[in-house]
Each structure stands twice: as C-alpha cells, then as structure tokens.
C-alpha cells in the first residue's frame, strides 16, 4: 500500500500540523489536549528532533510536510515476545488450541528442528516484521532448556549486534523453576552474564515455591541481573504465585527490575484476595505486562464450548494502584498463538477492545510506548523529545476512532529522520524451514 504522504528530502524540515499523544511528550504544558492528543509542528534537524512547537508556529523558511492533523508516535516498544519460537506454525500446529497442546507441540518442534540456522532464520523474519511496523525496542523470551539455551543465546547475541541501530534487543531466559536447584541453573546464570540477558522462568505452585523464589532472587541480585517471569497463565484460581513473587522480592531486598507477564488467574480471585495481591504488587514495585491476544486465544478454551471470559489480568486495577502496566505481542504464529505479526498497532487496537481501555483513551498510547520503554530501562525511547533521534511513526489517522478502526497499513516509519522501507518479509522466505 502506498504511503499517505511524501517526506521532504532535506536535512532540516518540519512535520506541520502533527497530532501527538500528550503522554509521549516530556512536557505537554502549553499544548491544549483533546482526548489526550495535542496539535504540534515537529522540527526535524539532521535526523534528530529539533523542537516540538505549537501547530502553525514552525519557521516558514523550513521545508514542511503537512501532516493534516495525522498522528505522530514515537517508535514502539514490544516488551514481551518469543522470536525464538515464532513462525513454526506451518510445520508444528496446535491441533486443539489449548495451553497443554502448545507446550507439547513446541517441545517436539524444538527437539526436532531448533538448530542455530533454524532459530536465526525465524528470528530474522520476526525482526524484519517488527522493524517494518515501527518497533525500535523489543524484548524476547528464549526457551532455555538444555541444550537449547547455548544454541539460542549465541544466535540471539549475533542478532542483537546485527540489528543494532534498527531494533534494540533484550533477551530473557525462559525455563521451568523446578530446575532451579540443579547445577543447570548456575550454568544458566553464567550464560546470562556472558550474553547480558535477564533471568526469566515460569512460576508454578510448588510446595517449596518460596525457597525456589529466594534462590532466583539471590542469584539475580548477586549477579546484577534483572528478572522477567511468566506468571499464573491459567484460569485456575487455586494458582496465585503473583503475591509470592512480590513477597520474595521484598524479603530478599532485591533491587533490580522485576516484570511479571500474564497474571491471568488474578482476575479469577475474589475481590479481597485480588485487592490484597494488587497492593502487594504495588508495594514490591513489580511491573506487569498483559498479553491480551495470546490470553484471549488460550484461556477458557474447551473443545466445542464458547469461551466465557477474556483471559486477561486486572489491568485497570493494577494501573490504578500505581503499578507500571503495558501490553505486548507475546507469541506469533506458533502453537501458543496461531496469528500475529509483531505489530504494536494491532496489539494496542486489540488491547483497547479486549481490556476496554477506552472512554477515555487519553493516556492509552503509553501502553506500547512510554511505559514499556520505562520498564525496559530505556524510557527515552518511548517519548518524542527535543534532542532525541527522529524515530517516529506517522499516521494518516487524526483521532482515536480513525486510528483504532483501520490497520494503519499506510503508516510511515521514520528512523533518524528518514523514511524506511516498510515492506514486510514474504512468508515464502520461510518455506525451506517448513519442509522438515
């Protein structure tokens, strides 16, 4: 699809009449916001943001591209993905669409197919898509059961170096915490230090869960590693490791960053338990990422029965308690989620519908920009600020209803002040990997 406008070919120019989500400006004072959106002229100079001025006040001597009130966002942050397992759907499906089916089929595919070449080719495909859609910062979890951890982290480190300047990458080692007292865990910590990764894991309701969490927090603390866990991805209300994680962080005096993903079963608790848990999460300073598309797909799925709940965590209540909250892609075209393209516009559009984040929408842009960038320790990436790189996503859509009603396929992705080639990779590139 053709872009909706042409950018000036000049080192210095203005994007005039640009509508920016106020939440993505370091200082929105002096701009009148409507639905959280402000009208500006953005001056771009030598690939950087020169100034953000009230609409109609950019120097007239500058070449200008008239946005005609179209939105301009900072590049996106996709803070929870699985680019090591993405795009295996055509060779390893999930015949019943359930969580157990996903686990089993990913394991079988990993054991049969995940060579360095295979992982690298699929990661590359994912990053091409993410970049074309406008993502500038992406965190992925990496399946880290031996011997896969060695294979995948080597590939990831190469990928991170190759994609530097286009998509900044972070990686989390995903493993089951029932292995945490085994020598493997020491090996994994050493690997994460080598590759500058994060400790992850899936928490389970084990009898000695607290001891296992203590081990996790101590090892992370001793080695200066941040933590990002998969938590309570179930409708089973008997499962609630979230409060135990918050307690473990406080008990161990751990000072790094802790992110918890999913937290589905929080929404299945009685009001009192939910409130107590949320207060604890806020006190411990955990950040929560919701994965609405994947949750809607996997949760409450039973053969021949229509789902009765949406599968998502208590996003609004957590945010109201002061917890940093964001949304992200999660899986793409693998047994955990059959669809997806690492497009944060799709993620926010679906999040608004599934989590009812509208009416008002004023601050909603933060959930794929400012807040996830802050959680990942790269807050400036989620903002449009004078002096920062002109890494922007330009839309024809002017207001929320226009933005959320179409896929925004004609958007322009600008990096360092220049429009990039937005062509998406052709699925046919993956065909040689699927014939296994």
Residues with a known catalytic role: 233
Minimum CB distance to Zn ion, residue 202 (Å): 9
Query: Do 187 and 199 contact (CB within 8 A), yes or no?
Result: no
If the CB atoms of residues 143 and 330 are measured against Zn ion, the closer one turns out to be 330
Pairing of strands 135-143, 76-81: parallel
Minimum CB distance to Zn ion, residue 140 (Å): 9
Minimum CB distance to Zn ion, residue 170 (Å): 14
- Tokens at residue 265, please? 């079963």
Taking alpha carbons only, the member of 40, 32, 45, 43 closest to residue 56 is 40
- Tokens at residue 423, please? 């062509």
Minimum CB distance to Zn ion, residue 294 (Å): 7
- Site map 62..101 versus Zn ion, x via CB under 5 A: ----------------------------------------
If the CB atoms of residues 168 and 330 are measured against Zn ion, the closer one turns out to be 330
If the CB atoms of residues 64 and 245 are measured against Zn ion, the closer one turns out to be 245
Minimum CB distance to Zn ion, residue 379 (Å): 23
If the CB atoms of residues 330 and 334 are measured against Zn ion, the closer one turns out to be 330
If the CB atoms of residues 330 and 341 are measured against Zn ion, the closer one turns out to be 330
Minimum CB distance to Zn ion, residue 230 (Å): 6
If the CB atoms of residues 235 and 330 are measured against Zn ion, the closer one turns out to be 330
- Site map 376..405 versus Zn ion, x via CB under 5 A: ------------------------------
Write out the binding residues for Zn ion, residues 275-334 only, by CB under 5 A: 330
Whole-number Cα distances in Å, 374 to 3, 146, 147, 259, 269: 30, 32, 33, 12, 29
Q: Distance between CA 285 and CA 224 in Å, rounded?
A: 17
Sign of the four-CA dihedral 144, 147, 148, 149: positive
Query: Do 41 and 11 contact (CB within 8 A), yes or no?
Result: no
Q: HSE of 10 in the Cβ direction (CA atoms, 13 Å)? A: 15
Write out the binding residues for Zn ion, residues 325-344 only, by CB under 5 A: 330
Query: Do 385 and 367 contact (CB within 8 A), yes or no?
Result: no
If the CB atoms of residues 74 and 86 are measured against Zn ion, the closer one turns out to be 86
Minimum CB distance to Zn ion, residue 111 (Å): 20
Outline where 232-270 has alpha helix (H): 242-251
DSSP element (H, E) containing 27: none
Residues near 141 by beta carbon (within 8 Å), at least 6 away in sequence: 80, 81, 82, 84, 171, 172, 173, 174, 200, 228, 230
Residues near 129 by beta carbon (within 8 Å), at least 6 away in sequence: 341, 342, 343, 424, 425
Q: Distance between CA 235 and CA 246 in Å, rounded?
A: 20
Kindly provide the residue ranges of all beta strands, DSSP E only, lying in 247-381, ordered along the sequence: 258-262, 287-290, 325-327
For 60, other C-beta atoms within 10 Å of its C-beta total: 8
Minimum CB distance to Zn ion, residue 138 (Å): 13
How far is CA 357 from its chain centroid? 17
The C-alpha angle with vertex 409 and arms to 406 and 410, in degrees rounded to 5, equals 110
If the CB atoms of residues 141 and 349 are measured against Zn ion, the closer one turns out to be 141
Residue whose CB is nearest to Zn ion in the complex, by number: 330
The binding site for Zn ion (CB under 5 A) comprises 330
């Amino acid at each position: 699809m053709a872009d909706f406008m042409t950018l000036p070919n000049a080192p210095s120019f203005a994007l005039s009449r640009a509508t920016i989500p106020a939440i993505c400006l370091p200082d929105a004072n002096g701009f009148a916001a409507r639905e959280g959106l402000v009208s500006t002229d953005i001056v771009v100079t030598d690939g950087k943001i020169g100034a953000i001025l009230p609409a109609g006040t950019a120097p007239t001597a500058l070449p200008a591209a008239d946005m005609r009130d179209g939105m301009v966002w900072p590049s996106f942050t996709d803070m929870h993905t699985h680019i090591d397992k993405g795009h295996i759907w055509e060779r390893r499906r999930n015949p019943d669409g359930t969580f157990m089916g996903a686990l089993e089929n990913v394991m079988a595919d990993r054991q049969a197919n995940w060579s360095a070449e295979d992982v690298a080719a699929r990661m590359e495909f994912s990053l091409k898509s993410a970049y074309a859609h406008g993502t500038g910062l992406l965190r992925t979890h990496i399946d880290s059961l031996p011997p896969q951890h060695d294979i995948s982290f080597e590939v990831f480190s190469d990928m991170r170096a190759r994609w530097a300047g286009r998509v900044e990458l972070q990686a989390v080692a995903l493993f089951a915490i029932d292995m945490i007292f085994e020598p493997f865990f020491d090996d994994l910590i050493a690997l994460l230090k080598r590759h500058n990764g994060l400790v992850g894991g899936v928490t389970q309701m084990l009898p000695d869960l607290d001891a296992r969490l203590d081990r996790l927090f101590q090892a992370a603390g001793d080695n200066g590693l941040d933590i990002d866990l998969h938590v309570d991805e179930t409708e089973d209300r008997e499962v609630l490791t979230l409060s135990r994680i918050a307690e473990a962080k406080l008990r161990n005096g751990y000072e790094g960053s802790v992110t918890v993903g999913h937290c589905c079963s929080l929404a299945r608790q009685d009001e009192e338990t939910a409130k107590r848990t949320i207060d604890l999460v806020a006190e411990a300073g955990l950040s929560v990422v919701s994965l609405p598309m994947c949750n809607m797909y996997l949760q409450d799925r039973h053969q021949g029965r229509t789902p009765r709940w949406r599968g998502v965590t208590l996003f609004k209540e957590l945010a109201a308690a002061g917890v940093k909250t964001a949304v992200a892609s999660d899986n793409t075209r693998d047994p955990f989620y059959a669809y997806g393209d690492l497009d944060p516009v799709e993620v926010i559009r679906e999040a608004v519908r599934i989590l009812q984040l509208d009416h008002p929408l004023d601050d909603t842009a933060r959930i794929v920009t400012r807040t996830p960038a802050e959680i990942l320790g790269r807050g400036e990436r989620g903002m449009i600020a004078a002096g920062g790189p002109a890494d922007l996503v330009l839309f024809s859509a002017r207001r929320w209803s226009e933005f959320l009603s179409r896929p925004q396929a004609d958007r322009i992705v600008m990096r360092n002040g220049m429009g990039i080639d937005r062509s998406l990779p052709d699925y046919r590139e993956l065909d040689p990997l699927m014939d296994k």
